[in-house]
A and B are shown apart, each in its own frame.
Chain A
Amino acid sequence: MGQIKYQLPAEEILAPGHFACPGCGGTLAMRYALKALGRKTILVIPACCWTVIDGPVPFSAAGVPVFHTAFETAASAASGLKAGLEMQGDHETTVVAFAGDGGTFDIGFQALSGAAERNEDFIYICYDNEAYMNTGIQRSSATPFGAWTTTTPSESPKAENKKNIIEILAAHRIPYLATTSVAYPDDMIAKIQKAKEIRGMRFIHVFSPCPPGWKFEPEDSIKISRMAIKSKVFPLLEIFDGVDYRLSHEPAGTPVRDYLKMQGRFRHLKEKQIEEIQKTIDEEWERLKSKLVSSKRTRQSNGGPLAKERNLFHVKRGEALRKE
């Protein structure tokens, strides 16, 4: 077996020379996403780091057409683009909304919810760096409990837990939901490729560390991202149809302390608060586990993967729509 190696699609669509900070997780997310999606892709980018990263006019790093749109409109713009392509008879091009956590969890939320409810046929990728980073590190509803941001200073760090966007979207019963991380490029590419094969609304949640916003050295980006997975801070999941949960990676369950200690944004935390965070993580994990178990039971009692049939249904519905 030997060393872990990654077999990624060779084609590099993302160009160098983009404006991301050194060690940017969101940029790696884009690089892998483009590798998985291929050149027949249109990106819709609302206000977020990637608005800047893509480069100033007349330059663009993405290597595929990018439609820059307003903060709250990623999902609605993507819906419109997809509809437009369908009208032109282009059923091949994948439409991808690529948004930060602010544009997904907060400002773009109603558009996202609407698109999910309508089961629009595009992929929504949220690269989650857990705050409004390019505007100067303001807290978002994706910022975790206890974190420092410029609007939640260390004297009164964020007192609320991170919004569970995955559960909210699962409640919309969209065909495919997945969480992934830039530290596991093979996992990320496999999930996006799987999403590409499915019709309807697909949501990919990418855990993307931000060196300046989280206050760590850029070289540790991958390490931190990996620690988040290992310590169960961020589970790697797939949810089919909003009900069928599957765990992609069984984490070792290292103490969350190791993960927190690596980041300046958690430096002010007291031992008691760290314990509290650990407790929350453990409870959340138990809850997730019960969902995984019941999903498995349902799959077994249905005599096969439930999701597979449902996906076919979505494909068929997509095709029917196209014929009309």
Chain B
Amino acid sequence: MTKYKFTTVEEMPPLAFSIESTRKIPTGSWRHVRPIYKDKTSPCEVGCPAGEKIPVYFDLVRQKKYEEAWYKILEDNPLPGVTGRVCYHPCEGQCNRTFYDESVAIHNIERFVADKNFHNNPPERISVTDLLKSEKVAVIGSGPAGLSCAYQLARKGYRAVIYEAGHEAGGMLRYGIPHYRLPKNILDKEIGDIVSLGVQIKVDSRIGKNIPWGELEKYDAVFVAVGAMRSKKMSEGQRLNSSRSFGEAEGGDLKGVYSGVEFLYELNTGGSPQIGDKVLVVGGGNTAIDAARSALRLGKSEGSRPLSGKVTVLYRRTRAEMPAVPEEIEEAEKEGVKFEFLVAPVKIIGYRGKVSKIELQRMKLGEPDASGRRKPIPVVDSNFTIQADTIISAIGEEPDLSFLPYSFLKKGVRVFVDDDHSTGVPGIFAGGDAATNPNGTVVNAIRAGKEAAAAIDEFLGWRTKMDGVKQQVVQSEEINTFYFPHEKRAKFPRISVEKSKASFGEVNKTLSEEQALAEVDRCFSCGTCLHCDVCMTFCPDVAILKDEFGEYSIDYDHCKGCGICVNECPREAMELVEEELQWA
């Protein structure tokens, strides 16, 4: 303010005037509610089984800090390149943007971040402790659950040793997923990163076969993550039709009959299974779709016979109930895989030891069963027979637990575990598809590994501190959509159908940087402040300040608690709390 020359009242000009700023008036005393900054949990974080901090790493991508973003993902998931390709992305199903236009393409961004860091190694600081603990933990199986558990244990300072029965690490990721979905160099890279953190992987070590169970007794804890690698027999999967038993005895031994896992294993280990002209795949899960699309490529790549249109998937329910990822079904359809719904196999008919026909029965949908899907019910007298040369049965997988010596508590074919993955035998934990309540997906296995690592840590008495406190989840109606103009979701680039179905090369490509940045901008960032200044812009009391680091503070001496900042926050990163009354 201007300095005035008068010193006495007489010298003052004959009118009232103000020379002080109202800043001296603490209007904050009017307030009965107080705005605060409080980050909340986004629904995608809840939707992600691995619990990735999606809005946080999205913000890092937004700032083009791709390495930092990668480290953020690595805190929860050591295999972003894998999940960025094959995950069924339940996160996107929870995305609040779904209620506005289209969900954010989260898994494409995950893949983008992983691929951006393909030539980088995880830093030492990814470990939560510098202290190397004396306890050793054995992990049986190097699938996603085993890898995730060993990785998290290594981060916590344990020495983890993985016993892998196969010749190479990766489990189902290596042997169950075809190359066109997951190129093996990606898997090798990410397994390499895990090993670089001090995890030891012993391949060709099948417990109960060339390694006795007794060897595990030198470990302080064991995590059983052998997965479900054995295909169910059709007779077991199709119990509904048991009135007419259909199993190994009735055609299962014929030449030209494969199980889905067997078929994919052979393909992924360099073999080329012999298939005929007319391939039928039984089942509606991801294994079935993988097998069907692989069979299509196999026919093509050999150049022997044009196979297009000759691979048919048989499923006993309808498309809506198929457990496979919808995108995969669409892709298969694009490439020329045919679908036949509401049919179940009854009997395989052979001719001279080879498959020649299959007898099928029509189904109709009944009441929802325990899985929430509608139960298929056979239609009486609807049997019919069709020609087939090759039949791939992919009606589900189950674990092979014959190596377990103790009388482990089992539920069905799986190891029974508590919520903390303990088996009841002290020090032995289990997770992934080998244990109860599996959902057969990579990301759930990663979650199981992470949770088991935490449980083992607790069992061994350390309780290494990890962040990840669950807070209030942001609902879609809490988003202030005024700030978000409608924008189209990024479409992932893919090679042409003609090209894709002719080879085992990867079908989908990584988003370009430009696409990724545009897609990240679509994210509402529910519950995570992005410092967009909206709160500051609309404060009538000029009570929100920003320091030189870009952080906000509220001047409670002047804030009257009108709540505009909280109401206008585009992403619900603020809230109003009752002011405590002070009778001073």
Measured CA separation A217–B31 after assembly (Å): 14
Interface string of B550-577 (1 = CB under 8 A from A): 0000010110111110111010000010
Among A23, A24, A58, A226, point to the contact of B18 (Cβ < 8 A): A58
Among B16, B27, B485, B518, point to the contact of A16 (Cβ < 8 A): B27
Residue total for A at the interface (Cβ-Cβ under 8 A): 42
Residue total for B at the interface (Cβ-Cβ under 8 A): 45
Known: A23-B562, A59-B24. A16 touches B555 (CB 8 A): yes
Please name the residue on chain B nearest to A217 by beta carbon.
B563
Q: Quick check: B521 and A218 within 8 Å, CB to CB?
A: no
Q: Quick check: B22 and A8 within 8 Å, CB to CB?
A: no
Q: CB of A223 within 8 A of chain B? A: yes
Residues of A within 8 A of B17 (CB): 57-58
Q: Quick check: B483 and A4 within 8 Å, CB to CB?
A: yes
Q: CB of B30 within 8 A of chain A? A: yes
Q: CB of A79 within 8 A of chain B? A: no
Among B555, B560, B568, point to the contact of A222 (Cβ < 8 A): B568
Residues of B within 8 A of A147 (CB): none
Interface string of B520-531 (1 = CB under 8 A from A): 011000000010
Measured CA separation A22–B33 after assembly (Å): 11
Interface string of B342-368 (1 = CB under 8 A from A): 000000000000000000000000000
Q: Quick check: B20 and A60 within 8 Å, CB to CB?
A: yes
Which positions 469-497 of chain B face chain A at CB distance < 8 Å?
A: 482-485, 487
Q: CB of B543 within 8 A of chain A? A: yes
Interface string of B1-45 (1 = CB under 8 A from A): 000000000000000111111111111001100000000000000
Measured CA separation A18–B19 after assembly (Å): 14
Q: Quick check: A57 and B16 within 8 Å, CB to CB?
A: yes
Among B19, B537, B543, B563, point to the contact of A218 (Cβ < 8 A): B563
Q: Quick check: A6 and B562 within 8 Å, CB to CB?
A: no
Q: CB of A28 within 8 A of chain B? A: yes
Closest-CB distance, B247 to chain A (whole angstroms): 57
Residues of A within 8 A of B543 (CB): 16
Q: CB of A270 within 8 A of chain B? A: no
Known: A3-B521, A219-B567. A226 touches B482 (CB 8 A): yes
Q: Quick check: A22 and B562 within 8 Å, CB to CB?
A: yes
Q: Quick check: B22 and A16 within 8 Å, CB to CB?
A: yes
Please name the residue on chain B nearest to A20 by beta carbon.
B540
Interface of B is mostly: loop
Measured CA separation A28–B541 after assembly (Å): 8
Q: CB of A1 within 8 A of chain B? A: yes
Q: Quick check: B538 and A28 within 8 Å, CB to CB?
A: yes
Q: CB of B131 within 8 A of chain A? A: no
Among A1, A20, A25, A222, point to the contact of B567 (Cβ < 8 A): A222
Q: Quick check: A15 and B521 within 8 Å, CB to CB?
A: no
Please name the residue on chain A nearest to B576 by beta carbon.
A219
Q: CB of B534 within 8 A of chain A? A: yes
Q: CB of A153 within 8 A of chain B? A: no
Q: Quick check: A3 and B564 within 8 Å, CB to CB?
A: no
CB within 8 Å of A: which residues of B? 16-27, 30-31, 482-485, 487, 518, 521-522, 530, 532-534, 537-538, 540-543, 555, 557-558, 560-564, 566-568, 570, 576
A/B interface sample: 26 pairs, CB < 8 A: A1-B518, A1-B521, A3-B521, A4-B482, A4-B484, A15-B22, A16-B27, A16-B555, A17-B22, A17-B23, A17-B25, A18-B27, A19-B22, A22-B30, A22-B541, A22-B561, A22-B563, A23-B564, A27-B540, A54-B18, A60-B20, A63-B21, A211-B562, A219-B564, A221-B564, A222-B568
8 smallest beta-carbon distances between A and B, as pairs: A2-B521, A219-B563, A22-B562, A16-B558, A23-B562, A17-B22, A60-B18, A17-B25
CB within 8 Å of B: which residues of A? 1-6, 8, 12, 14-25, 27-28, 31, 54-55, 57-61, 63, 66, 185, 211, 217-223, 226
